[in-house]
Amino acid sequence: MTRARIAVLVSGGGRSLENLAERIRAGELDAELALVLSSTATALALERARRLDIPALTVDPKAFATPADFSAAAWAAIEDARVDLVVLAGFLRLLLVPEAWRGRVLNIHPSLLPRFGGKGFYGERVHRAVIAAGERESGCTVHYVTNEYDKGDVLVQRRVPVLPGDDEHALGARVFEEERIALPEAISLHLRRRSAHST
């Protein structure tokens, strides 16, 4: 069976992209990174993609009149790359998912959804909100993407304690260590389920 081809959509540093590449190299994830698509030309993830020899491009939402137009351009690039699965890894734009792609787009979010999810909740904002709310636990969630922020079915959650004295950086670092495990785990789970359904 051919290895699943994955497009990784990014807006920032690309730590999750690097993690996926490491897992694939180590034989822990049976997939191929076929495309990196960034919503900004200055994303450090594009540098990582070049170093990892993964085809990369930018689709700038500012160049489009509506989110639908932006999404259409992104999907055209994704489909050109002939990918099987799309992974949003720190992608900070609403991507409208066509019906044909429902159930084949994953997102990783740095909280235990449904708490601290939705529009405006991303990155350190999430960790600050968790601390401000007095939560004793946080974590990360990998879920299927729908046309609403952070609303799709959950595949994997991993938990961490919120410790006394945590700031957003300390909590964020602890959560990211779990993201490094959760995202490859969720991709593998998705691919196993897909394989089971196709046999």
Which active-site residues does the annotation give?
Answer: 109
- Torsion angle, CA of 173/168/113/61, rounded to 10 degrees? -90
Q: Give the count of alpha carbons within 13 A of 167, CB side only.
A: 1
CB-based contact 156:144 (threshold 8 Å): no
> Residue for token digits 């069976």?
1
Which of 105, 100, 93 has the alpha carbon at shortest distance from 68?
A: 93
Please state whether the peptide bond connecting residue 98 to the residue before it is cis, i.e. omega within 30 degrees of 0: no
